[in-house]
Amino acid sequence: MVLFIGFLFVETQAQSRLDLRNKLVKNELLVKILNDSEMKELEPPSPTARANFLRLYSMEGELGDNCAPEAETEVTCSFKYYLAVNSGDLGLSGAVYDLGEVGEITKVEWLQNSNRDFDRLRLEISNYPEFVFEYNPKLVRKTRTVEIEVSLQALKIKVIK
């Protein structure tokens, strides 16, 4: 009888959906991304133009005086980027791609795509964040344009210019 009452108590508690847990997530990178990054939802021009839901996470990369030596405070000289991909389908967890550390992704443009298996984006990348040029006008701005094809299974990068 005690076992039956215990079973009913556990079953009732499990169904209530009111109990919080205190389980520590032990993934250092995930914790860093969630605590230290800025998230930008990448929205296509029309909802039907995408195969996946894309979120771009950026967090401070290199700090220091190599890009703005005259600044009185430390300046962020680059950002680390992560691209999260989710199809929106139930049961599929999605994927996250480490895009690396660059000065700054300054522009994101959705490209037309007839293939519903992946999304195509054009990214413009600068060698330093925009605000750094105000601190150090001696810096030479360099840019690169890339196109990416991204799906749950892969990310391909093609340099355009």
CB atoms within 10 A of CB 37: 17
CB atoms within 10 A of CB 146: 18
pLDDT tens digits, one per residue of 100-154: 999 999 999 999 887 778 999 999 999 999 989 988 888 999 999 999 999 999 9
Distances (CA, A) of 120 to 62, 71, 97, 127: 28, 38, 15, 22
pLDDT tens digits, one per residue of 58-116: 999 877 667 878 777 788 999 999 999 998 777 677 899 999 999 999 999 999 887 77
What kind and span of H or E run contains 11?
helix 2-16
| 76 in Cβ contact with 60 (< 8 Å) | yes
